[in-house]
Amino acid sequence: MKFISEYRDARLVLQTLSEIRRTVTQPWVLMEICGGQTHAIMRHGLNQLLPEEIELVHGPGCPVCVTSLELIDKALAIASQPKVIFTSYGDMLRVPGSDRDLFSVRADGGDIRVVYSPLDAVKIAQQNPDQEVIFFAIGFETTAPANVMSVLQAKSLGLKNYSLLVSHVCVPPAMHAILSSPFNRVQGFLAAGHVCAVMGYWEYPPISQKYKVPIAITGFEPLDIAQGILATVRQLEEGRAVVENAYPRAVTFAGNQPAQAVIQQVLMPCDRKWRGIGTIPHSGWCLRPEFSDFDAENRFPVRQIQPQESPVCVAGQILQGLKKPFDCPAFATICTPQNPLGATMVSSEGACAAYYRYSSESVRN
Amino acid sequence: MCLGIPGKILDIYQSNGLRMGKVDFGGVVREACLEYVPEAQVGDYTIIHVGFAISLLSEQEALESLALLREIGNFEEELGA
């Protein structure tokens, strides 16, 4: 398939890796922001092919993992109500709330449906005018254009029974939070290619300059990731720190402007709590007041929630690049994809799930 | 979640007030919303994420960056690496 197979060409990947090996002279810690990249790295074994000087730590770019426990509990409370159809991307159904997950609400009779796109949720609202249809609008900048378009479509169709439970998060504030932490280890970033396909990368040069970290906009195929690592390592070795676009076939500096305009029209910045990390100022988006009719939090006031996080799980530290899944005593023992303690073990982008799925015992020890 | 898959646009039409299209992912054809790529034409390649085209793929950029990486390889071979 064009635009895929070229980027899985083993020979070209190995050549790029040997160029990385020739370039590197000292240890460097890089973070790939996006959980999709974490999975690609583990799946293709890139972590084992890299020179030992390069350590990859895994970033917070997994929306399923960082959606706050309060919002999961709120979703569980709303989804349990009568005359409600709760729609969501599939990954969210197994994410543990304080005492259960959406699957168990469904098992108890809740009408919970997995959709591929929020436009499918709008269709369900059209077909079920006597029921309230809620879409769990989680995600980074990549998912925002789809989620906001569903609001505009519901509005133009005159639907009164459609609303979003919004949990949008943004990458640049999380990078600021990671880099300004006194425990930070990250010296260079592979930025998330599809976030940048939407937003461009005009937000990144100030970060790169302020913290003196190289940032490479990076795609998702093995060759893309090798290219992103090479660009970052070259800069580190040369003492430079700029933003480089290593995914130019999909990303431009300005990004997708029609999408940014619609996001601006419907959403506005807000403080957002990240699961395991805490509140990061201006790190999320919520609906603008003129769209408050579409806000599920207004429509379904849920009594005060007291969330209970697992005392063992270290997902928050993993998401900040401070720990690896193997550092967790629960990893692959009491915490597995079948019985996850934290969201990082659930998602198809979670670091723990990637380690569980692709790491052999030999790598663990 | 940010999984985006490249696909080729086969057809463009209006549906429920939105610009939609049929997109071919190496044999699997699905519907996607094309509102955010107003310049897209049939035959273009695009990245689809949760049913929305978020970016058109640039063949020229793709060829240029591949050529650069291949150069590294050629240089290596000359060195006998």
Q: Sort out which chain B residues have CB atoms less than 8 A from A157's CB and list them.
A: 16-17
pLDDT (tens digit, 9 = 90+) per residue, A7-47?
Answer: 999 999 999 999 999 999 999 999 999 999 999 999 999 99
Q: Sort out which chain A residues have CB atoms less than 8 A from B71's CB and list them.
A: none
The distance from CA A350 to its chain's CA centroid, rounded to whole angstroms, is 9
Chain B contact for A127 (CB, 8 A cutoff)? no
Nearest CA-CA partner of B5 in B52, B48, B62 = B48
Q: Sort out which chain A residues have CB atoms less than 8 A from B69's CB and list them.
A: 12, 15-16, 223, 227
How confident is the model at residue A93, as a pLDDT?
Answer: 92
List of E strands, chain A = 28-34, 54-61, 84-88, 111-114, 132-139, 162-169, 188-192, 215-218, 243-245, 267-274, 278-287
Q: Return the sign of the alpha-carbon dihedral for residues A336, A343, A163, B14.
A: negative
One-letter amino acid identity for A236? L
pLDDT band at A277 (very low <50, low <70, confident <90, very high): confident
pLDDT (tens digit, 9 = 90+) per residue, A281-334?
Answer: 999 999 999 999 999 999 998 777 778 888 888 998 898 888 999 999 999 999
As given in the structure block, the two tokens for residue B41 are 């034409």
Domains of chain A: 1-310 (3.40.50.11740), 315-364 (no CATH)
pLDDT (tens digit, 9 = 90+) per residue, A334-365?
Answer: 999 888 888 899 877 789 999 998 886 445 44
CA distance B2 to chain A (A): 6
Q: Sort out which chain B residues have CB atoms less than 8 A from A251's CB and list them.
A: 55
Place of tokens 């060409």: A9
State percent of chain A over pLDDT 70. 98
Chain B contact for A93 (CB, 8 A cutoff)? no
How confident is the model at residue A365, as a pLDDT?
Answer: 42
Considering only residues B79 and A335, tell me which one the structure prediction assigns the higher pLDDT. Answer: A335
Segment among A110-119, A190-199, B12-21, B65-74 with least mean pLDDT: B65-74
Q: What is the ipTM of this complex?
A: 0.91
- Bridge partners of residue A272, in order along the sequence: A280
CA distance B21 to chain A (A): 14
One-letter amino acid identity for A139? G
Q: What is the mean pLDDT of residues B1-16?
A: 89
Q: Which residues contact A275 (CB under 8 A, 6 or more apart)?
A: A65, A66, A67, A68, A69, A315, A316, A343
Cα–Cα distance measured from residue A61 to residue A165, given in angstroms and rounded to the nearest whole number: 20
Report the residue of A115, A138, A142, A195 to disrupt the B interface, i.e. the one with the largest count of B CBs within 10 Å. Answer: A142
Cα–Cα distance measured from residue A110 to residue A100, given in angstroms and rounded to the nearest whole number: 13
Give, as one character, the DSSP assignment of residue A254: S
Q: What is the mean pLDDT of residues B15-25?
A: 94
Q: Sort out which chain A residues have CB atoms less than 8 A from B23's CB and list them.
A: none
As given in the structure block, the two tokens for residue A232 are 């970052």
How confident is the model at residue A307, as a pLDDT?
Answer: 80
Place of tokens 């970290």: A213
Question: Rounded mean pLDDT of chain A?
Answer: 93
pLDDT at B65 over 70: yes
Q: B2–A34: do the CB atoms touch at under 8 Å?
A: yes
pLDDT at B1 over 60: no
Q: Which residue of B has its CA nearest to A88?
A: B50
SS3 A185: coil
Q: What is the mean pLDDT of residues B19-38?
A: 96
Q: Which residue of A has its CA nearest to B20?
A: A119
A334-353 burial, b at 16+ Cβ within 10 Å, e below that, comes to ebebeebbbbbbbbbbbbbb
Q: A197–B33: do the CB atoms touch at under 8 Å?
A: no
Domains of chain B: 5-79 (2.30.30.140)
Q: What is the mean pLDDT of residues A253-274?
A: 97
Are the CB atoms for A30 and A47 separated by under 8 Å? no
Q: Sort out which chain B residues have CB atoms less than 8 A from A140's CB and list them.
A: 1-2
Report the residue of B1, B14, B36 to disrupt the A interface, i.e. the one with the largest count of A CBs within 10 Å. Answer: B1
